[in-house]
């Protein structure tokens, strides 16, 4: 709200299904409603910890939250003041373990100014987490998107620079090995230029 951003992306694992909590879900809903009050849309996918068929309390999110289904789909954002269009591609886990190379289902549609991939999956070669929806750097590059918002790996990692492909990491350490600064990325795109700011 302070930064007057155009939209927010959550790349999965908002909750942990094994430690579900009604208070947490209600708090998240309230914050999404705050964003709705400022006309800020949210693009959200489910990951392996908050997969769609998990045991959750049935709490609906406001209309500004755009949820993705099991199949890769595209949702389009249109900026009001200048009609800039952004295609956001993503899918949600419908179960805890997805081992398919879902990256192959991402298809660029040439009807937008910018293309952003939202992917909850494991970079090939990383062994700290489950090898779910695996992908390689070259597979990301082959899609010719402008930015990749990644989820699943808890450690903050910038795995590509052009186009940027970012694991922002967990906001909260999940065990004693997950120390250090936690935060999110503020991403600005203008023409062919993309700037990244990590905000602790």
pLDDT over 80 at 69, yes or no: yes
- Structure pTM? 0.94
Instruction: Check whether the bond before 163 is cis (ω within 30° of 0).
Output: yes
- For residue 167, report the phi and psi dihedrals to the nearest 5 degrees: -95, 110
102-152, pLDDT tens digit by residue? 999 999 998 999 999 999 999 987 766 778 999 999 999 999 999 999 999
pLDDT over 90 at 32, yes or no: yes
Q: How many CA atoms lie within 13 A of 186 on its CB side?
A: 9
Sign of CA dihedral 103, 105, 108, 114: negative
- Over residues 61-66, the mean pLDDT reads 97
**Contacts for 20 with CB less than 8 Å, ≥ 6 apart:** 54, 55, 56, 57
Nearest to 1 by CA among 44, 30, 33, 35: 35
Return the structure tokens found at 106: 């991402």
pLDDT for the residue numbered 24 = 85
- Over residues 73-80, the mean pLDDT reads 96
pLDDT for the residue numbered 127 = 63
Residue 174 pLDDT level (bands cut at 50, 70, 90): confident
Q: State how far the Cα of 165 lies from the Cα of 148, in Å rounded to an integer.
A: 4
Residue 192 pLDDT level (bands cut at 50, 70, 90): confident
């Amino acid at each position: 709200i302070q930064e007057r951003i155009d939209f927010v992306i959550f790349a999965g694992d908002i909750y942990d299904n094994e430690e579900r909590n009604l208070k947490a879900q209600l708090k998240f809903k309230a914050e999404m409603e705050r964003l709705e009050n400022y006309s800020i849309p949210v693009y959200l996918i489910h990951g392996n910890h908050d997969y769609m068929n998990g045991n959750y309390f049935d709490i609906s999110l406001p209309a500004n939250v755009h949820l993705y289904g099991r199949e890769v789909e595209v949702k389009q954002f249109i900026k009001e003041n200048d009609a800039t269009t952004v295609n956001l591609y993503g899918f949600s886990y419908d179960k805890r373990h997805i081992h398919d190379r879902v990256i192959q289902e991402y298809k660029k549609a040439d009807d937008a100014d910018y293309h952003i991939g939202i992917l909850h999956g494991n970079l090939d070669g990383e062994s700290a987490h489950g090898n779910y929806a695996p992908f390689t750097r070259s597979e990301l590059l082959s899609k010719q998107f402008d930015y990749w918002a990644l989820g699943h790996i808890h450690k903050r990692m910038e795995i590509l620079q052009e186009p940027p492909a970012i694991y922002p990491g967990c906001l909260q350490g999940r065990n004693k090995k997950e120390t250090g600064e936690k935060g999110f990325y503020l991403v600005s795109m203008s023409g062919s230029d993309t700037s990244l700011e990590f905000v602790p």
